Amino acid sequence: MRNNNLFIIFTLLFLYSCKYADSPTGQSEIAGNGIVNESASKYIDSTLKSFVDEGKIAGVSALVFEKNKEVYFNAFGFSDLEAKIPMDRKTIVQIYSMTKPITGVALMTLFEKGKFKLDDPIDKYLPEFSNIKVYTGIDDQGTIKTEPSLRPITIRDLTRHTAGFANSPDIPGLSELVTKTDAMNRENTLTQMAEKMGRVPLWFHPGDQWEYGPCVDVQALLVERISGQSFDSYVREKVLNPLGMDETSYFVPENKRKRLAASYLRTEKDGINRIPDENALSYNTNDWPLKRGGSGLTSTLDDYMKFARMLVNDGSLDSTTILRSETVKLMATNQLSDSIKVRSWLPSKGQVGFGIDFAVRLRPPVTDEKFGVVGEFFWDGAASTLFWVDPVNKITAVMFVQLFPFDNIGLHKAFRQAVYKNLISVKE
């Protein structure tokens, strides 16, 4: 009887291991009853592969978790098309603005400690932004005209992009001044960046409109001033290391650079062409003084997924807690009042508002819009990377590609609709 029982146990273990073994295509365990089941996974495969086969991108990879289980992974094409290095799970990519949510989480660890309030004026901590002026135009001689700001910039303004910093190339007089000031020069420290920014008038009064820009870079300096340690070391100590995000960094050492993906520029006329590495990769292959809060990190799929899973699990991953659940909910709550009518290109993201360093989906998508679940929060990066957190269905998704200009091929929409293929079918 004992031998028979052992035989049954070993048989069950064998069948279980066969059922959940990785497939030849690189797909991971499939959750049979979930939204991302086997049929959805095959559809994601065909969707992503089609962009490579049609020559629209060099390579792409994606990872999806549902209810704390990995339900999809695959990679297609090349991280380096010319050297024929395949895109894979360990490929390191430049995540650009997907750095912003990491900075926001670092900032909010200080919020939880009572170190600041969201409506504190930033000049309480950053005197470089005291007595700010607001641009009102230029006179007949081309001299910039200003008026006193109606109120100070607050920390909340920084987290929701309503501070007023100029971020457009065509503002008469002001755009030229921003360029001349060169606050984002890589040789600057964060303090030098702020000193230069503080000498430039704001484009609009704080809180009047939404305009993407250097707000999160200023958040990085806030982290530095309030914590008393350098921004990058604080992020490493309080966010990256506790989550095991060992592959996420500003500087990529020589021994990892073969895994650093090349960047590509696509035009309708010429297709995709490699951007010279000395231009595309220089920020991350040199250890520059300026560690920006709004851009600059590199990461891998698995590393960034740890960050996303921490968020979907209300601030914790496994036995590690980064934020309290109420803090994550605050970050994922829309901070833009209806009175803020001017929102630049934010409406192109769909029926969204903006929380603390994330877009937040407020209403169901309308016709021909990127699919998304109400309550999700997400962001993307200049090289067309994307992640989202869906707390309703407990889905987190990360997609990596290195393509400029930003997603002019409909990749994000196609990937989202593939992930939610079954949910969309049910709704239809």
Question: CB burial class (10 A; 0-12, 13-18, 19+) of residue 9?
Answer: exposed
- Is 177's pLDDT higher than 80? yes
Least confident of 27-41, 316-330, 397-411: 27-41
How far apart (Å, rounded) are the C-alpha atoms in residues 202 and 31? 50
Contact of 156 with 119, CB cutoff 8 Å: yes
- Is 161's pLDDT higher than 80? yes
For residue range 58-72, list pLDDT tens digits in order: 999 999 999 999 999
- Is 16's pLDDT higher than 90? no
Contact of 351 with 362, CB cutoff 8 Å: yes
Provide the 3-class DSSP secondary structure of residue 94. strand
405 preceded by cis ω (within 30°)?
A: yes
Residue 173 tokens, joined? 């007089």
User: Nearest-CA neighbor of 132 among 119, 146, 118, 142?
Assistant: 146
The mean of the pLDDT values for the chain is 92
Q: Which domains does the chain carry?
A: 25-105+239-427 (3.40.710.10), 114-227 (no CATH)
Please report which confidence band the pLDDT of residue 189 belongs to, taking 50, 70 and 90 as the band edges.
very high
Selected residue with higher pLDDT from 393 and 2: 393
For residue range 102-128, list pLDDT tens digits in order: 999 999 999 999 999 999 999 999 999
How far apart (Å, rounded) are the C-alpha atoms in residues 94 and 121? 32
What's the alpha-carbon Rg for the chain, to the nearest Å? 23
Provide the 3-class DSSP secondary structure of residue 125. coil
- Give the per-residue pLDDT at 248: 98
Contact of 48 with 40, CB cutoff 8 Å: no
- Is 367's pLDDT higher than 80? no
Please report which confidence band the pLDDT of residue 369 belongs to, taking 50, 70 and 90 as the band edges.
confident
Percent of the residues in the chain that have a pLDDT greater than 70, as a whole number? 91
Quote the DSSP letter at residue 137. Answer: E
Report the predicted TM-score, pTM, of the whole model to 2 decimal places: 0.91
Strands 264-267 and 403-404: parallel
- Give the per-residue pLDDT at 286: 96
How far apart (Å, rounded) are the C-alpha atoms in residues 64 and 422? 15
